[in-house]
Copies of this chain bind each other. A is one copy, B any other.
């Protein structure tokens, strides 16, 4: 697949200012692109990369930029957006919806499928599922009874959504994520962990993205909630009855224990954990490999396990690194003190005599 100069301009909504015979074979970053590739300057902090790029063409936001030799610049109002259109052109098409229901899908009675929906091979839709307009349910996805999927969703292959869960509009689910498994709830009776029925569901807001092999458990009662615009990275655990606010980031391999409540714009960084029943306020950032063991009420960065305000924890850690020196100092002090005591003994006694 190649893109010529004229078609490139059509894609991004411009008239070519000159005729160029080059063709381009793909997209790349400024540092990685070669002469037959297209790149873009989306953020001024990458300006220095523009100076040394070998890209065939770079989309830039204004005419202040100089092209290195062999590189052409195209000025476009929003290079990031324009570049998105170029990417779509070259894209392998996994996010392109090809309406229709595969012969290899299994669709139960009572399922409602909106217009323009794609149902891939190996998909199982149990009774009474509803799939909204323009959504794509890729190969091998398994949707339980009564699952409701909004419009314009993109379920990648192998997604599992258990019965009764509700997914908003424009939600992206990466492969292998599991929505609505039973929460981990038992009562310890007569030496045995008796299962506590998990009869709630999961509700995922609009514009949420869920990473590969993520687990979001159904509530015991009511619902586990992922707020609008929140993005969840791979292998994250969200336990039963958790409520995650809007526009949060849950980074790879973090875990949110049962009934915890996260505000809006919260970031839980990689491999961190939030203990059960805690409240994490708006705009809290829990740093990587940390663990929230108490409510975190003030916005700001928290660090460590148990997590403390970052400044305090960094001070503790820095002191920790100086511990061996501190021990030496105390040992020296003891020696000096002993010498001194021995010495002082003398005049003290002489004073008494």
19 A-B pairs with CB atoms under 8 Å apart are A29-B221, A92-B144, A94-B145, A120-B124, A124-B139, A140-B140, A156-B162, A160-B175, A175-B178, A178-B234, A181-B234, A182-B209, A193-B229, A212-B215, A212-B217, A215-B234, A306-B317, A316-B320, A319-B323
Interface residues of A in 322-353 (CB under 8 A from B): 322-324, 326-327, 329-330, 333-334, 336-337, 340-341, 343-344, 346-348, 350-351
Q: Does A275 contact B (CB under 8 A)?
A: yes
When C-beta atoms are compared, the residue in chain B nearest to A264 turns out to be B191
Chain A positions 222 through 253: 1 when the CB is less than 8 Å from some CB of chain B, otherwise 0: 10000001010111010100000001010111
**Closest residue to A146 on the B side, CB-wise?**
B92
> Among A8-16, A56-64, A65-73, A83-91, which stretch is in contact with chain B?
A83-91
How far apart are A146's CB and chain B's nearest CB, in angstroms? 6
**A27 on interface, CB distance cutoff 8 Å:** yes
Residue in B closest to A251 when the chains form the complex, CB atoms: B184
Q: Give the number of times this chain occurs in the complex, counting copies.
A: 3
Chain B nearest CB from A82 CB (Å) reads 12
A140 to chain B, nearest CB (A): 5
Beyond A92-B145, A144-B157, A333-B337, 7 extra complex contacts between A and B, CB < 8 Å? A93-B145, A157-B162, A237-B252, A273-B289, A289-B305, A316-B320, A343-B344
Within 8 Å CB of A291, what residues of B? 271, 288-289
- Docked Cα-Cα span, A291 to B164, in Å, equals 38
Give 8 closest A-B pairs by Cβ, nearest first.
A106-B121, A92-B163, A181-B212, A215-B234, A347-B347, A142-B157, A124-B139, A178-B212
User: Cα distance A347–B235 when bound, in Å?
Assistant: 71
**Which residue of chain B is the closest to A128 with respect to CB atoms?**
B92
Interchain CB contact under 8 A, A324 and B333? no
Contact with B along A199-232 (1 / 0, CB 8 A): 1000000010101110101001110000001010
Partner of A104, one of B106, B144, B288, B326: B106
Q: How many residues of A contact B (CB 8 A)?
A: 111
In the complex, A20 has a CB within 8 A of chain B: no
A87 neighbours in B (Cβ, 8 Å): 197, 199
A142: chain B residues at CB < 8 Å are 122, 138-140, 157-158, 175
Closest beta carbon of chain B to A58's beta carbon, Å: 13
- With A106-B121, A191-B247 in contact, do A211 and B255 touch (Cβ < 8 Å)? no
Q: How far is the CB of A257 from chain B (nearest CB, A)?
A: 6
Q: Determine whether the beta carbon of B343 is less than 8 Å from that of A340.
A: no
Mark A160-181 against chain B: 1 for CB-CB distance below 8 A, else 0: 1011100000001011101001
**A195 / chain B contacts, CB cutoff of 8 Å:** 172, 209
Is A7 close to B, CB under 8 A?
no
Asked whether any CB of chain B lies closer than 8 Å to the CB of A21, the reply is: no
Measured between alpha carbons, how far is A273 from B144 in the docked complex, in Å? Answer: 33
Task: Report Cα–Cα, A275/B271, bound state, in Å.
Answer: 11
Contact A126–B139 (Cβ < 8 Å): yes
What residue in chain B is nearest A333 (Cβ atoms)? B333
